[in-house]
Structure 1
Amino acid sequence: MSDSLGDGCGNPTDVQVSLYKRWAQGGLALSIIGEVQGSPHFAEKPGNLVLNSSADLEGFRALAVAGRADNANLWIQLGHAGAMADGPISSPKGPSALDLPGLKCAELTLDEILAIPAEFARTAVLAKEVGFGGVEIHAAHGFLLNQFLSPLFNKRTDAYGGSLENRMRLLLEVVDAVREAVGPQYPVGIKLNATDQLEGGFQQDEALKVIAALDDKAIDLIDISGGTYFPGAPSSSDRAGTGPYFVEFAQRARTKTKIPLMVTGGFKTFDQAEAAVSEGQADIVGLARALVVDPDLPTKWQEGRDKHPLFPRFSAPPEGGVTAWYTMQITQIASGGAQLRADELRDVIEVYEVRDRKRHAIWKEHFGIR
């Protein structure tokens, strides 16, 4: 998940270190820190981390150590928001120029595209050097690599647009660059959408072809997710009904790859998670909001307790409001605070937005963005 706990300068904070130690102590096998950027120019939020040669590497080392508590593991997610970069702190660019309600971006030049694999690789090398257990390449949720895969966002007519083979070219180049940079033994995963759940977007049959192409690459884990943060788009939970969202797709993916599969999205009970593994749909179950509701859930499930955790119910939440609530509840976990209530949603959203505005100013000052 994107914890949004960076200091506004792209560096880890003490409370962020506490968060990943707390989750590790709760019994999970692996945490993945959402959206760690290689540069400050295409961040998803001002709470993102930026891991490059100018970063506070000692702070990152402390974070890596915390995430290894109690034999857990901590990976970073290699991110680039592209067209979905946060407007107040960036000049969004994607595969193609867009001018849509809520989303406006310029087109990346060919030279800018050719530089992207090396940027991902540099960040991966630093992740390895400071002690993280692995990296996950983010190619889902509407961010840059997913934008290239999607015919809805990618209208290019060069080698990076048009056919699916061309649209997946950048993703495969990033995979190759990262693997070459970190060596053969360091864990490298990829987060991939089963579908964008947008008309005209990246669909399941195309995703299966991408998975088949990845099967020839040195990838250690494919994390299947879906949906997009495109403004106005319904979330996966709005579209997919009850229960885990992507297990049926994972069954189809099994026929295309020997790479271990992780399925993330909609797992709310022990029975759902156990069934996905025992029935061969997933090798690993990804939990997001369930771990925000209860950071001790893995230990409890191992002990046969609390198999049906309670989730908050919100009345007519505004767009992005539920994500804001869960993000601020992550802060509560990290700081040892009390559980937020669902009826506090409006106040929580205000606190969330004020925090981001403050960090927008810090980010722009620190990175010299005007």
Structure 2
Amino acid sequence: MTAPDVLFTPLTLPCGQVLKNRLVKAAMSDSLGDGRGNPTDPQIRLYERWAEGGAAAALVGEVQASPRFAEKPGNLVLAPGSDPDRFRALARRGTARGCRLWLQLGHAGAMAYPPISAAKGPSALDLPGLSCGALSSQEIAALPARFAATAELAKALGFSGVEVHAAHGFLLSQFLSPLFNRRDDDYGGSLENRSRLMMEVIDAVRTAVGPDYPVIVKLNATDQLEGGLEEDEALDVVAALDSRAVDLIDISGGTYFPGAKSASDRAGGGPYFADFARRARTRTRHPLMATGGFKTMEDAVEAIESGAVDAVGLARAFVLEPDLAEKWRSGRTGPPAFPRFRSPPEGGVTAWYTMRITELAEDREGRDPPDLDRALALYEERDRARAAIWTAHFGPPA
């Protein structure tokens, strides 16, 4: 097959859903919710643009089942009391041109945003930049049903599938990680125990949505933190997922621990987790996707041609060029023009891309983007404003 054939051959998931090509807009925290957990017009337009741009699927990052453990005050909350019409509009317009729109089911746990949350994780922690309580046994027992209820709502409102988020240091990732998880009950200690909550969530979600609806799992190849989940254990988790009705394993890595390096800070170029995916291929029958570090069409083609993955997740590339999939399909194969930042402030690069997302959503990306300091100031100012709306709507942290 020629290079475009490799990327633009449809992929049939185990549940029967067909992706029109192998290029997926990976989950990002777009921070475009209205502060009350509902989609805004710009957010709906954003996902419409990615659909019009030819992506096979797009993931809406960090959709919460509860307002109590949100990652940011711009997150969506899909639960009783949400505005169904706004969510239906997002689902309808985000599935233009045959794009699949999947919701990423989130729970920030220990990483919950302090102004609107009382953070709790697997274990109580008091570390520089991170303090949280421990979830009780009763709180843990209630989580699978809560994830499942949100998945059921997503299906009813017209979304194409759901992703169980067990990566990047959020709650299910915290349970997997020996750094965060110091429990001595059935949810701590051995890898089997640390995996238990994730498996229970997957099973509950599958029961809620039935056999013909996509259930994706996002998993860290490595936490990239000393004492965290490492590759050999992550491979064992991949193998254990083979007994679950999963349609795609989305492999990523890194943890949003205060001060920690991101996956994009690693040395060297090229996709970050393709080598791990090659190892994972021998441990599972499930389709695989790798997310992180894909910048060129050649990167994507090589990962698929080599058999490492079945699909490629791109995030920042789709932020720079929302119609990237259509450009590559039509033979315009050049890579996006990734900006280079020297000595960025902590959080500055994330803020820059988030504000670039806002420009896309408002159809005004022709302007010069702000510098990192200005982007960070705008990002933090918006979070403060939406945190006030969130607290007024949902009440103070419990």
Once the two structures are TM-superposed, the CA of residue 308 in structure 1 deviates from its matched residue by 1.9
Residue equivalent to 1:193:
220
Once the two structures are TM-superposed, the CA of residue 306 in structure 1 deviates from its matched residue by 3.9
Deviations 1:121-171 (A, max 9, x none): 000000000000000000000000000000000000000000001000000
Once the two structures are TM-superposed, the CA of residue 314 in structure 1 deviates from its matched residue by 1.1
Residue equivalent to 2:24:
none
Asked if 1 retains the 8 angstrom alpha-carbon contact of 2:30 and 2:61, the reply is yes
* Aligned with residue 158 of structure 1, among 178, 185, 188: 185
Number of residues of Structure 1 aligned to a counterpart in Structure 2: 370
* Aligned with residue 279 of structure 1, among 274, 299, 306: 306
Residue equivalent to 1:41:
68
Asked if 1 retains the 8 angstrom alpha-carbon contact of 2:356 and 2:369, the reply is no
Once the two structures are TM-superposed, the CA of residue 196 in structure 1 deviates from its matched residue by 0.3
Match status 1:102 vs 2:93: no
Quote the Cα distance in structure 1 between the aligned partners of 2:89 and 2:369.
33
**Over the residues paired in the alignment, what is the CA RMSD in angstroms?**
1.0
Residue equivalent to 2:5:
none
Quote the Cα distance in structure 2 between the aligned partners of 1:83 and 1:201.
15
Amino acid at match of 2:210: G
* Aligned with residue 294 of structure 1, among 313, 321, 334: 321
Asked if 2 retains the 8 angstrom alpha-carbon contact of 1:314 and 1:342, the reply is no
Quote the Cα distance in structure 1 between the aligned partners of 2:366 and 2:347.
19
Match status 1:314 vs 2:341: yes
Percent identical among aligned pairs is 66
- Secondary structure of the corresponding residue to residue 197 of structure 1: coil
> What stretches of structure 2 of length at least 5 have no aligned partner?
1-27
Match status 1:364 vs 2:388: no
Quote the Cα distance in structure 2 between the aligned partners of 1:13 and 1:215.
38
Asked if 1 retains the 8 angstrom alpha-carbon contact of 2:304 and 2:310, the reply is yes
Amino acid at match of 2:317: A
Asked if 2 retains the 8 angstrom alpha-carbon contact of 1:95 and 1:147, the reply is yes
Q: TM-score, normalised by structure 1?
A: 0.99
> Within 5 Å, which residues of 2 pair with 1:314-353?
314-339=341-366, 341=368, 344-353=371-380
> What stretches of structure 1 of length at least 5 have no aligned partner?
none
Which 4+ stretches in 1 moved above 2 angstroms? 338-343
Once the two structures are TM-superposed, the CA of residue 340 in structure 1 deviates from its matched residue by 6.0
Asked if 2 retains the 8 angstrom alpha-carbon contact of 1:329 and 1:340, the reply is no
Quote the Cα distance in structure 2 between the aligned partners of 1:274 and 1:2.
27
Asked if 2 retains the 8 angstrom alpha-carbon contact of 1:96 and 1:155, the reply is yes
Quote the Cα distance in structure 2 between the aligned partners of 1:339 and 1:241.
31
Q: 1:10 to 1:343 in 2, by over 3 A?
A: closer
Q: TM-score, normalised by structure 2?
A: 0.92
Residue equivalent to 1:64:
91
Amino acid at match of 1:137: V
Deviations 1:261-298 (A, max 9, x none): 01000000000001111111110000000000110110
> Within 5 Å, which residues of 2 pair with 1:59-138?
59-138=86-165
Residue equivalent to 1:181:
208
Quote the Cα distance in structure 1 between the aligned partners of 2:241 and 2:104.
18
- Secondary structure of the corresponding residue to residue 280 of structure 1: coil
Quote the Cα distance in structure 2 between the aligned partners of 1:53 and 1:343.
38
Asked if 2 retains the 8 angstrom alpha-carbon contact of 1:155 and 1:162, the reply is yes
Quote the Cα distance in structure 2 between the aligned partners of 1:346 and 1:233.
20
